[in-house]
A and B are shown apart, each in its own frame.
Chain A
Amino acid sequence: MELDNSQLLRFTTAGSVDDGKSTLIGRLLYDSKSIFEDQLEAVEATSKKKGHIGVDLALFTDGLRDEREQGITIDVAYRYFTTPKRKFIIADTPGHIQYTRNMVTGASTANAAIILVDARHGVIEQTKRHAFIASLLQIPHIIVCINKMDLVDFSEEVFNNIVSQFEEFSSKLLVKDIRFRPISALLGDNVVNRSENMPWYEGATLLHTLETMHISSDINKVDARFPVQTVLRPQSHEHRDYRGYAGRMASGVLRPGDEVTVLPSGFTSKIKTIDTLNGPLTEAYAPMSVSVTLEDDIDISRGDMIVRSNNKPESSQDIEVMLCWLNNSPAKPRAKYSVRHTTNDQKAMIKEILYKIDINTLDRSPNGEDLNMNDICKVKLRTTKPLLFDSYRDNRTTGSLILIDEDTNETVAAGMIL
C-alpha cells in the first residue's frame, strides 16, 4: 500500500522509437513491476510474431491501430505507475517536428521532462527542440537521459562530452534544474537498477531521481488567485442563503478573514468560510478545489477572480504572448478568436506577429509571415475586455490561455503570457 502522503509527479517523455523512448517507458513500467501478466503475455506473443528475441519492451506502449501499424506515436498517450514513494503520470508524446503541438500539450501539465539523447549521436536538432519546448512551457525539472550507453562501451568520456554539448546549448534557455543520467533502456542500466557497467557514475538512477526530486515548490505559493468556476446556490431549506463560489486555487493561499478583492469589479470583502463536503477548512492552497463564501453580498460570476487585496494580477487588453499554433488552418490576420483564460471567456484579435522562432536553432525570424501549424511565435493580442493575468513564468495557470476558432470550435492555439 502507498503512503498516505505520497505525491503525484507528472512527467513527459518526448522522442521517437529510434531514441528508445518506448523502450525506456517499457523498462520503467517493467522494472517497477507495473506490468500485469496478461499484458506481458500479449507483448511476448507479439514479440515472437515479429521475430524479436526476448520481450520487446517498446510494445508496452502500443496505442491506436494506426500507431501500431506505423510503429510511431501520433497523439499524447498517458501512462501510469506507482512506486512506494510516488504515483507517476507519464505523458508519452511524439518527438517529430510535425507533432510539436502534441509535445506542447504533454508538456503543459508536467513537473518534469525526460529528454532522450542517443549516446552515439549526441545533441541533435531534435534534442534542442525538446529542450526548447520544455523551457517554453516552463517545465520545472529536466532530466537528460543519455541512452544507449551500451553501444558506446559505457564510456564516461562520451557521457561527459554530451553533457557539455547540452549545457552549452541550454545556457540560452530558461531552465532551473537540469540533471544528466547515463542509461541503457534496453539493458536496464541506471533506469530502475544501478548500472554495474558504469562504476564511474555515482549519481542516482532515473527512477530514484523521479521519486525524490523536490516538487512541492513548483507551485506558486505567494500570489493568491482563485478563478471562479461557478456559483453554488443550494436554495434548500437548510442552506437558504448560501452563496458559495466554486473554484480551484490557481496559486497562493487563502484563509478565512483574508481581505480580498473581486476582479474585475474591484469590490472588496473578507473570506467568510472555505467549504468542502468534509467540513470547513482553515486554509486553501493550490491545487485545491473548494467553495468560498464572502462576508458581503457581491455580484460574482464565472470568469471573475478572487485575489488578496494587497496582491493583484495585471490587467490589460494588450498582451504579449508566445503562441504555439495547433491547427491545420493557418491563423487569419486580424481575425477574432475566442480566448479562454482560466475560467474567463472573451474575444481577442492577433494584432501583430512580432517574430517566429525556429525551434531547431532558436533563431528568430522577423514578422510578416503567417502562423502555421506547429509554429511558435511571439504575438500581440488585443482582447475585448481587460484580461487578469500573471506572467507565465510566475504562474502557469493565470499565465496561460488558448484560442478557439469560432467557425470550427477547434482549439487552434496555446499561449503563454510574457
Chain B
Amino acid sequence: MSKYYLNYLDELESEAIYVLREVWAQFQNPVILFSGGKDSIVVTHLARKAFFPAKIPFALMHVDTGHNFPETIQFRDDLIKELEGRLIVGSVQESIDNGRVAEEKGKNATRNALQITTLLDAIEENKIDCAIGGGRRDEEKARAKERFFSHRDDFGQWDPKNQRPELWNIFNGKHFEGEHFRAFPISNWTEMDVWNYINRENIRIPSLYFAHEREVVWRNNSWIPNSEFLKLEEHEEVITKKIRFRTLGDITITGGIESEADTVEKIAEEVSAMRQTERGNRSDDKRSETAMEDRKRQGYF
C-alpha cells in the first residue's frame, strides 16, 4: 500500500516539471538560460524529465561574458552534444565590439552588468518570448518577490511593484509583441534542495564545484581565481590553495571557498553546515543593498 503523498524533493520536482510544460504550451519560442552553473544544469535535467521520451524542445542560451572558466565552456559543449540540443550564444565581447556597451573602468570592473544588454539583444534577435532561468527565491531579497511566470516589458524591464498576481498553479503568459517572459521553474528550491537533488539524481556538474588545487588571490573576503583577466594589485599575492566554488559565474567575480569536499555527498554535507549565504562570495551582489533589484529591473537574469 503506497503512502499517496510526495516527499519535498518529489513535490519540488513535480512542480518544476509542471512549470516547464506550461512554458512549452504557452510560448512560441522559449529557451533555457544556461550559465553552466548548478541551477541551470538542474533546470536542464528537469526539462529532460518534463518531455521524456521526447528530446528537450528548447534551445539552451548562454550569455558569454568572454571571462569564462574553460571548464564551464567544455561542460556546456559536452552537455549540448549529449542532449543533441541547440545552443545559442550571446557574446558580451561582440556587444563591446559593436559599441552596444562599454567596459567598466576601475579596479573592480567586471562584465557582470554588461550581460544585461547582450541578453536582451539575444532575446530580441532570436525572437525569444520566454527565457527560462534557474533563479531561486531564497537567493536574494528581490528574487523572493519573483513569480514563476515573470513579465518583462518591451524594454526587457521588470516592474516588481506591478506584477501579475499568480494564484494556485494557473500561469498567465499572455503578452504583446516585443514583450517577453522569464520563467523560474525552481523558484521554490533552496540551495540545499538543489544539492540534495543533484545527489539523488546523480546529475553531472562541472569539476569546479569540487575541491581542487587552484591559483588564487585573497580579495573581498574570498579566494578569487587567477586568470588572464585578473589585474593584480601591488600587495596581492597569487598562491595555490585547495578550494571549490559554491556558485559559478564570470571568472572575475566568482570567489572560491576553502574546502576538502570532492564528492556531491560531501558538498551537500558541507553546504548544510554553512553559515554564510551562497551569494556571499559574489562581488556582483555586494555593490549595494539593492544591487540585485536594480539589475533585475533592467532585465538581468
Which positions in A face B, CB cutoff 8 Å?
1-2, 4-8, 36-39, 62-66, 68, 74-80, 82, 86-87, 89, 101-102, 104-105, 108-109, 215-216, 219, 221, 229-230, 232-236, 238-239, 242, 244, 246-248, 253, 275-278, 283, 285, 287-289, 291, 302, 326, 338, 340-343, 396-397, 400-402, 404, 409-411, 414
**How many residues on the B side are at the interface (Cβ–Cβ under 8 A)?**
64
- Could you tell me if B18 and A289 are in contact, using CB atoms closer than 8 angstroms? yes
Say if the beta carbon of B213 comes within 8 Å of chain A: no
- Could you tell me if B193 and A87 are in contact, using CB atoms closer than 8 angstroms? yes
Q: Mark B156-178, 1 if CB is under 8 A from A, else 0.
A: 00001101111111101011100
| Stretch in B7-15, B95-103, B110-118, B122-130 with 4+ CB within 8 Å of A | B7-15
A408: shortest Cβ distance to chain B, in Å? 9
13 further A-B contacts with Cβ under 8 Å, apart from A82-B192, A343-B25, are A6-B7, A8-B12, A38-B280, A64-B290, A75-B160, A78-B137, A236-B55, A239-B54, A283-B2, A285-B4, A396-B168, A402-B167, A404-B174
Kindly report which residue of chain A lies nearest to residue B163, judged by CB atoms.
A75
Q: Mark B172-215, 1 if CB is under 8 A from A, else 0.
A: 10111000000000011010110010000000000000000000
Kindly report which residue of chain B lies nearest to residue A78, judged by CB atoms.
B137
- Could you tell me if A401 and B170 are in contact, using CB atoms closer than 8 angstroms? yes
A257: shortest Cβ distance to chain B, in Å? 16
Please name all residues of chain B whose beta carbon is closer than 8 Å to the beta carbon of A340 when the two chains form the complex.
170, 172
Please name all residues of chain B whose beta carbon is closer than 8 Å to the beta carbon of A275 when the two chains form the complex.
52-53
- Could you tell me if A79 and B144 are in contact, using CB atoms closer than 8 angstroms? yes
Please name all residues of chain B whose beta carbon is closer than 8 Å to the beta carbon of A109 when the two chains form the complex.
167-169
- Could you tell me if A89 and B188 are in contact, using CB atoms closer than 8 angstroms? yes
- Could you tell me if A36 and B50 are in contact, using CB atoms closer than 8 angstroms? no
- Could you tell me if B165 and A411 are in contact, using CB atoms closer than 8 angstroms? yes
- Could you tell me if B25 and A229 are in contact, using CB atoms closer than 8 angstroms? yes
Residue among A8, A86, A244, A275 with max Cβ neighbours from chain B (10 Å): A8
Q: How far is the CA of A36 from the CA of B268 in the complex (A)?
A: 16
Q: How far is the CA of A74 from the CA of B145 in the complex (A)?
A: 10
With A108-B168, A246-B50 known to touch, is A2 a contact of B196 (CB < 8 Å)? yes
Q: How far is the CA of A87 from the CA of B4 in the complex (A)?
A: 18
Q: How far is the CA of A400 from the CA of B6 in the complex (A)?
A: 22
B12-26, CB < 8 A from A: 12-15, 17-18, 21-22, 24-25
Please name all residues of chain B whose beta carbon is closer than 8 Å to the beta carbon of A326 when the two chains form the complex.
165
- Could you tell me if A276 and B52 are in contact, using CB atoms closer than 8 angstroms? yes
Which positions in B face A, CB cutoff 8 Å?
2-8, 10-15, 17-18, 21-22, 24-25, 48-55, 137-138, 141-142, 144-145, 160-161, 163-170, 172, 174-176, 187-188, 190, 192-193, 196, 268-269, 272, 274-277, 280, 289-290, 293
Q: How far is the CA of A168 from the CA of B137 in the complex (A)?
A: 39
Please name all residues of chain B whose beta carbon is closer than 8 Å to the beta carbon of A242 when the two chains form the complex.
53
Q: How far is the CA of A247 from the CA of B190 in the complex (A)?
A: 25
Residue among A247, A289, A338, A411 with max Cβ neighbours from chain B (10 Å): A289
Please name all residues of chain A whose beta carbon is closer than 8 Å to the beta carbon of B176 when the two chains form the complex.
409
Please name all residues of chain B whose beta carbon is closer than 8 Å to the beta carbon of A247 when the two chains form the complex.
21
Q: How far is the CA of A124 from the CA of B33 in the complex (A)?
A: 48
A41: shortest Cβ distance to chain B, in Å? 10
With A102-B165, A276-B52, A402-B172 known to touch, is A5 a contact of B7 (CB < 8 Å)? yes
- Could you tell me if A74 and B14 are in contact, using CB atoms closer than 8 angstroms? no
Q: How far is the CA of A39 from the CA of B7 in the complex (A)?
A: 29
Q: How far is the CA of A331 from the CA of B206 in the complex (A)?
A: 52
B180: shortest Cβ distance to chain A, in Å? 13
With A8-B11, A400-B170 known to touch, is A101 a contact of B53 (CB < 8 Å)? no
Please name all residues of chain A whose beta carbon is closer than 8 Å to the beta carbon of B272 when the two chains form the complex.
1
Kindly report which residue of chain A lies nearest to residue B179, judged by CB atoms.
A409
- Could you tell me if A221 and B4 are in contact, using CB atoms closer than 8 angstroms? yes
With A63-B145, A80-B138, A275-B53 known to touch, is A289 a contact of B14 (CB < 8 Å)? yes
> Which of B7, B13, B163, B167 makes the CB contact (< 8 A) with A7?
B7
Kindly report which residue of chain B lies nearest to residue A328, judged by CB atoms.
B162
